[in-house]
Structure 1
Amino acid sequence: MAKRYGGKFSPDPDSSEVEAPQTRPVEASFRGRAPARHAARINILFLLPLLILPTVFFRPVSEMITDFAGGAVLLLAAWLLRDGVRAEDAYNERKVARRPAIPRKIFASVLTGAGVGLLVFGGQWTVLNAGLVGVLAGALHLFSFGLDPLKDKGMDGVNRFQTERIAKKVEAAEAMLEAMHDAIGRTGDRQLVSRVEAFQATARDMFRTVEDDPRDLTQARKYLTVYLQGARDATIKYVDLHGTARDYSARSDYLSLLNDLETNFAARTQKMLLSDRGDLDVEIEVLRDRLNRETLHIDTQGQ
Structure 2
Amino acid sequence: MATRFGGRFSPDMPRDQRRAPPGPMRHRLASRPKWVTIAASPFLLTAFFQAPLGMVTDLAAFGVIAAAMWMTREGLTAEAAYDARRVARRPAIPRKLFGGVLAGLGLGLGAAEPGAVAGASVIGVAGLALHWLAFGADPMRDKGMDNADSFQQNRAARMIEEGEAHLAEMQDAIARIGDRRLEARVAVFAATVEDLFDRVRENPGDLSAARRYMGVYLMGARDATSKFAALYPRTQDPGTRVDYETFLDDLEKDFSAQADKLLDGDRNDLEIEISVLRERLMREGVRPAPEPVDTDDTRTRMLRSEDARKFDELISSDRDAAKSRR
Structures share a fold, TM > 0.5?
Answer: yes
- Please point out which of 33, 38, 47 is paired with 2:29: 38
2:91 is aligned with 1:91: no
Larger relative contact order (Cα-Cα within 8 Å, sequence gap ≥ 6): 1
SS of equivalent residue, structure 2 residue 194: helix
Q: Distance in 2 between matches of 1:221 and 1:53?
A: 52
Equivalences for 1:18-33 in 2 at 5 Å?
A: 22=14, 24-30=16-22
The more displaced of 150-159 and 176-185 is 176-185
* 2:302 corresponds to: none
SS of equivalent residue, structure 2 residue 49: coil
Q: Distance in 2 between matches of 1:246 and 1:55?
A: 56
Equivalences for 1:1-303 in 2 at 5 Å?
A: 22=14, 24-30=16-22, 35-121=26-112, 126-181=116-171, 184-185=174-175, 188-235=178-225, 245=234, 247=236, 249=238, 251-284=241-274
Write out per-residue CA displacement over residues 137-169 of structure 1, whole angstroms, 9 at most, x where no aligned residue: 111102221222222333323322222322333
Letter of the 2:17 partner, please give it. Answer: P
> Given the superposition, is the C-alpha separation of residues 58 and 205 from structure 1 closer, same or farther in structure 2, using an over 3 Å criterion?
same
Letter of the 1:27 partner, please give it. Answer: R
Would the aligned equivalents of 2:144 and 2:202 in 1 still touch at CA under 8 Å?
Answer: no
Q: Distance in 1 between matches of 2:211 and 2:121?
A: 53
* 1:16 corresponds to: none
Q: Distance in 1 between matches of 2:36 and 2:231?
A: 38
> Given the superposition, is the C-alpha separation of residues 67 and 206 from structure 1 closer, same or farther in structure 2, using an over 3 Å criterion?
same
The more displaced of 154-163 and 187-196 is 187-196
Per the TM alignment, residue 104 of structure 1 is displaced from its structure 2 partner at its CA by 0.9
Write out per-residue CA displacement over residues 63-113 of structure 1, whole angstroms, 9 at most, x where no aligned residue: 111111111111111111111111222223333333222111100000000
SS of equivalent residue, structure 2 residue 256: helix
Q: Distance in 1 between matches of 2:44 and 2:229?
A: 39
Letter of the 2:92 partner, please give it. Answer: A
> Given the superposition, is the C-alpha separation of residues 154 and 238 from structure 1 closer, same or farther in structure 2, using an over 3 Å criterion?
same
> Given the superposition, is the C-alpha separation of residues 143 and 241 from structure 1 closer, same or farther in structure 2, using an over 3 Å criterion?
farther
Would the aligned equivalents of 2:47 and 2:55 in 1 still touch at CA under 8 Å?
Answer: yes
Write out per-residue CA displacement over residues 181-237 of structure 1, whole angstroms, 9 at most, x where no aligned residue: 455455554333332332232122112222333332111112222223343444455
Unaligned runs of 5+ in 2: 5-11, 288-326
What's the C-alpha RMSD, in Å, of the aligned pairs? Answer: 3.5
Q: Which has the larger radius of gyration?
A: 2
Alignment length (residue pairs): 279
> Given the superposition, is the C-alpha separation of residues 271 and 132 from structure 1 closer, same or farther in structure 2, using an over 3 Å criterion?
same
Letter of the 1:104 partner, please give it. Answer: R
TM-score (norm 2): 0.71
Letter of the 1:214 partner, please give it. Answer: P
Would the aligned equivalents of 2:3 and 2:179 in 1 still touch at CA under 8 Å?
Answer: no
* 1:301 corresponds to: none
Q: Distance in 1 between matches of 2:34 and 2:260?
A: 40
Would the aligned equivalents of 1:91 and 1:98 in 2 still touch at CA under 8 Å?
Answer: yes
Q: Distance in 2 between matches of 1:118 and 1:103?
A: 23
